Amino acid sequence: MDEKHFGPVWFIPGENHGKYPYCHSIYIEGAGVLIDPASDRKRLVQLRQNPGVKSVWLSHWHEDHFMHLDLFDDLPLCISEPDAPPLSDLELFMDSYGIDDISRDYWRSLFKEQFHFQPRKPMRFLQGGEIIHFDTVTVEAISTPGHTPGHLSFFFKGPEVLFMGDYDLTSFGPWYGDVGSSIEETIASVKRLRNITARVRVTSHETGVFEEEPGKIWDQYLDVINKREEKLINLLDEPHTLEDIVGAWIVYGIEFSERALVKKHLEKLMNQGVVAMEMGKYYRL
């Protein structure tokens, strides 16, 4: 995957096509702003040296977006206010994922060793609707919650580049499994991004750069949510415990992620009066 420049907006591809635990980064030439430093460590070192990095922005708090932030810990850090708390403390970080006590030691070690986690305090908060003027480009921060409570996207006026972060239009579909995530807000944010006219759309993972209107890819991306829900509802024609549902592997195939997403769907369906629970078993109404 090649690095691409759209005027002062540089697309820095992540290792392994930006698949987890990597992501693609954005660099703003002239302003020296680096967004989501978890792409390619060697390339990020080069950017720091020439043409230089002055500050780091995070689209949201996830580890696959700050893995190489340790290279820039002496520089100002900016993120949205709702997404700042997990960065301040490792235990709070794990709480935000809903990590249980049994596996906490494993994740604690992983976040420290692979992702270089350390408590961090932003210099300032970025806000949705904020317009930031640089000599080379004007940037609008766009509030796109759902994936995380404070997820931000960025529209670069002039080159008309829209950075959508983890609304990545991958075939897997959206992630909304954190404690503070929301299916409804995820859908609303994707629809908001779709309605923004842009010449180029950039995402954090896999394909990365869409130089043409994604078209039906938008619908396919959101339809993954519907398909997950349909499978769950069909399963609940018969009562099942949460453990039964997780073990059916209808969403992800990895226990932690499966549980997180299934719980979000169960919560949504119960609020809608489609599903109920009695004596520890969920069933379709």
37, 79: one domain? yes
CATH number reported for the structural domain that contains residue 246 in this entry: 1.10.10
223 assigned to some structural domain: no
Q: What is the pLDDT of residues 129-140, one digit of tens each?
A: 999 999 999 999
Residues across the chain? 285
210, 246: one domain? no
Neighbours of 166 (CB within 10 A): 24
What angle do the packed helices 183-194 and 255-271 form, to 10 degrees? 90
Confidence band (pLDDT; 50, 70, 90) for 253? confident
What is residue 252's predicted lDDT score, i.e. its pLDDT?
82
List the domain range (segments joined by +) for residue 114.
Answer: 4-214
151, 238: one domain? no
Secondary structure (H, E, C), the chain: CCCEEECCEEEECCHHHHCCCCCCEEEECCCCEEECCCCCHHHHHHHHHHHHCCEEECCCCCHHHCCCHHHHCCCCEEEECCCCHHHHCHHHHHHHHCCCCCCHHHHHHHHHHCCCCCCCCCCEEECCCCEEECCCCEEEEEECCCCCCCCEEEEEECCCEEECCCCCCCCCCCCCCCCCCCHHHHHHHHHHHHCCCCCEEECCCCCCEECCCCCHHHHHHHHHHHHHHHHHHHHCCCCECHHHHHHCCCCCCCHHHHHHHHHHHHHHHHHCCCEEEECCEEEEC
CATH number reported for the structural domain that contains residue 194 in this entry: 3.60.15.10
222 assigned to some structural domain: no
Confidence band (pLDDT; 50, 70, 90) for 112? very high
Q: What is the pLDDT of residues 42-86, one digit of tens each?
A: 999 999 999 999 999 999 999 999 999 999 999 999 999 999 999
What is residue 13's predicted lDDT score, i.e. its pLDDT?
98
185 assigned to some structural domain: yes
